[in-house]
Structure 1
Amino acid sequence: MNASLIPLQQSLIPIIDRWSAGHLDYATAIPGLNLFRRETPLPPAFCLIKPSVVLVVQGDKQMYAGDKTYPYDITRFLITSLELPAKSETLSASAEKPCLGLNLELDKRLITEMVAHGEVPSKSDVTEGCVGTGRVTDKLLESFQRLVSLLDEPEAVSALLPGVMREIHYRLLTSDQGSRLRQIASVEGQGYKIAKAIDWLCLHFSEPLSIDALSSQVQMSTTTFHSHFRRLTSMTPLQYQKWLRLNEAKRLMLNDDLDAASAGYKVGYESPSQFNREYSRLFGVSPRRDVEMLRTQLVS
């Protein structure tokens, strides 16, 4: 690791350590900024990653998306340009030296504005997929240091946050992962259209899905839509919808105490047997057994 980065990295640790104490995940008062703390290694857990950047300041993690694995640590940040089903794993952490970091949701409107106004260099490079890891630089760390420091200066947030957010997005757009963000910035681009389709799926996942209708809605042919959706997300639209349905069903059973059949109907399944079969295929156990295991873990 570059020696110049170490003091910057070290300066972030006590702030995140203090604000995340007692929490696994802490939603800060700054919109879109969440801190995380893990005091023990944790196996892969399902999650829905919003367009965001994840920065680790202590420890290391990795994410599984599609059939690929993305390790990241204090030298590499993780970035996703689309809302993406994935699994997150904590590789090294302890009570004495917890895995600490932050997750910042990206502002797609700001990205589009900065690209359209020529505030970042225009490049024609093409990047496969919507997720990757990039090299942490001193300039990027400095901008995140300014962001996290605002937690201790709440009266300055409204005045200083817009400038800090613009700087962070500029650093990301000019980083070695900038092409992932630029591909969703052009209204005429395929990445932008897939992002609009994902927005629709997240809002209407319990409804019957017509690929022809959805591709037409985002002004793409069915073949082109299917191809680009899979290229960017490593999933088909139907697989994406299924993931959203099953994870919402899990939430309903765990938090709202719904039985498996009721949860399945609520997220769009007409057949309890189909719901049980697809749930078991994704999570490895039946809905009832999975919820029992999760509740036992929460109690312990």
Structure 2
Amino acid sequence: MKDLLARIEATAGVLNSQSGSTGTILPYMYIHRFNTKHVPIPDPGDPFLYIVIRGRLQFFNANGINECRQGQYFISPVDVPSSGVFPEAKESTSFLAVSVNFSLADIIGVILDTEGDAPFEHTVGKEDNEDPENTEHVLSILDRMLSLGLKPSTVGFMSNHLKRELMFAILNGSFGDSLLKGVMNIQNAGDIYQINSWIKQNFRDVFSVQDLADKTQMSISRFHQKFKTAVGMGPLQCQKQLRLSEARRLMLVNDLSVTEAGMEVGYESLSQFIRDYRRQFGMTPLKDIQQLRSAIKKQPD
């Protein structure tokens, strides 16, 4: 796996060494390179694979702090936050990742083509990123995808072929089961995922369920029901979780005070912010951040 990661890193460097998120010769594939602690996560509104090639990325969400290390990947259409943290950020050390976007048609096409012939038996009972063989397979496909940028004449045929092979590998990996279940939600509520993406970008603002329903031209009751079915929570609860997770990150990473963090994410009342924070994370902001800092110090590098 180390050789694959080194080869992908080298090819990505040849194709683009600039900071930021850049496209490749494949319209669905992107290279992400950052030297800053704040790393924006793409949000195309559909499922996407995101794999760390160099460094590690910490996520702050309602379930706590998750980490994606070198060679690990995630794929999710909904619950990935809009940004992560690269703890080792330096001018001389850059974070590097590759992402691949998928459409609903991409996923369903692979599922239909393999139905009854090669069921996805290997997805049950495996923890995320606990399948080295699958991860190596995914990396080998990404290696070949990036290599197309060095041989543009082969793109026409290989582009779709490799994308389908990558989706097949994902469906057979530790994220396959959740992706299969999510496909039905996307199929039944594609417009809801676009609204969810909008909320991620605008969670600091004040808006109502009516405002969101109007964007989809649905009644409030129908919109709320579809949103909750697709995302797993109501739209305002989703907004609140995004606010609180971002406030947690701002206090832990940017050293903002409780008041500054609450105001930064859109709260007008400090007491309301503290109440919501305690309900979400089980303790006051100050105590929570103290415990998180203590736990991080004890973690091995």
The bucket for the TM-score relative to the shorter chain is 0.5 to 0.7
Partner secondary structure for residue 66 of structure 2: strand
TM-score by length of 2: 0.63
Select the residue among 265, 270, 277 that pairs with 1:282.
Answer: 265
Match of 1:157 in 2: 155
The 5 Å alignment of 1:167-186 reads: 167-186=165-184
Matched with 2:188 is: 193
Map of 2:95 onto structure 1: 99
- Taking a change above 3 Å as real, the CA distance of residues 13 and 201 of structure 1, as seen in their structure-2 partners, is closer
> For residue 30 of structure 2, what is the amino acid of its counterpart?
N
Partner of 1:297: none
8 Å contact from structure 1 (residues 39, 93) kept in 2: yes
Contact 2:123/2:172, CA 8 A, preserved across alignment? no
- The reply on whether 1:17 has 2:13 as its aligned counterpart is yes
For 2:156, the aligned partner's letter is S
Aligned to 1:59: 55
1:70 corresponds to which residue?
Answer: 66
Moved more, 70-79 or 161-170: 70-79
Aligned match of 1:213 in 203, 219, 231?
219
- SS in structure 1 at match of 2:9: helix
Partner of 1:82 in structure 2? 78
Asked if 1 retains the 8 angstrom alpha-carbon contact of 2:57 and 2:86, the reply is: yes
Cα 1:175/1:14, change in 2 over 3 Å: same
Q: Of 8, 27, 38, which aligns to 1:31?
A: 27
Give the drift of 1:102: 0.7
Equivalent-residue separation in structure 1 for 2:120 and 2:21 (angstroms) = 36
- Distance (Å, rounded) in 2 between the aligned partners of 1:62 and 1:9: 20
RMSD: 3.9
Q: TM-score, normalised by structure 1?
A: 0.63
Alpha-carbon contact 2:104-2:186 (below 8 Å) kept? no
**Is the 1:75–1:135 contact (alpha carbons within 8 Å) kept by the matching residues of 2?**
no
Distance 2:9 2:69 in 1: 13
User: 1:116-171 deviations in whole A, cap 9, x for unaligned?
Assistant: 333551569899xxxx6564522111111111111111222112101110111011
CA distance in 1, matches of 2:105, 2:10: 32
C-alpha contact (below 8 Å) 2:192/2:227 kept by paired residues: no
Identity among equivalent positions (%) equals 16
2:258 corresponds in structure 1 to none
- Post-superposition shift, 1:109? 0.9
- Secondary structure in structure 1 of the residue aligned to 2:219: helix
Amino acid at match of 1:238: L
TM superposition shift of 1:229:
4.2
The answer (yes or no) to whether the contact 2:48–2:100 under 8 Å persists in 1 is: yes
| Number of the residue aligned with 1:288 | none
Given that 2:33 and 2:97 are in contact with CA atoms closer than 8 Å, whether structure 1 keeps it comes out as: yes
Which structure has the highest helix share of the two?
A: 2
What is the Cα deviation at residue 178 of structure 1?
0.3
Shift of 1:71: 0.7
Shift of 1:82: 3.2
> Are the counterparts in 1 of residues 49 and 101 from structure 2 also a CA contact under 8 Å?
yes
Structure 1 portions without partners, runs of 5+: 245-278, 286-300
Q: 1: CA distance between counterparts of 2:59 and 2:183?
A: 24
- Indicate the structure whose relative CO is greater, using CA pairs within 8 Å and at least 6 residues apart: 2
Amino acid at match of 2:235: P
Q: Which residue of structure 2 aligns with residue 112 of structure 1?
A: 108
How far residue 216 of structure 1 moved from its aligned partner, in angstroms, is: 3.5
Counterpart in 2 of 1:140? 138
Contact 2:22 2:31 in 1 (8 A): yes
Aligned equivalents of 2:140, 2:123: Cα separation in 1: 27
